[in-house]
Amino acid sequence: MDNIAELDLIFGALAHPARRAILARLAQGAATVNELAAPFNMSLPAISKHIRVLENAALITRGRDAQFRPCALNGEPIAAVAQWADQYRHIWDARFDRMDQMIITMKDSTND
Q: What is the pLDDT of residues 48-85, one digit of tens each?
A: 999 999 999 999 999 877 677 899 999 999 998 998 99
* Domain-wise residue ranges, the chain: 3-111
Q: Among the CATH numbers 1.20.1250.20, 2.40.40.20, 3.40.1010.10, 1.10.10.10, which is that of 3-111?
A: 1.10.10.10
Residues 6+ apart with CB under 8 A from 74: 58, 59, 60, 61
Burial class (CB in 10 A: 0-12, 13-18, 19+), 105: exposed
pTM: 0.77
Q: Is residue 2 predicted with pLDDT exceeding 70?
A: no
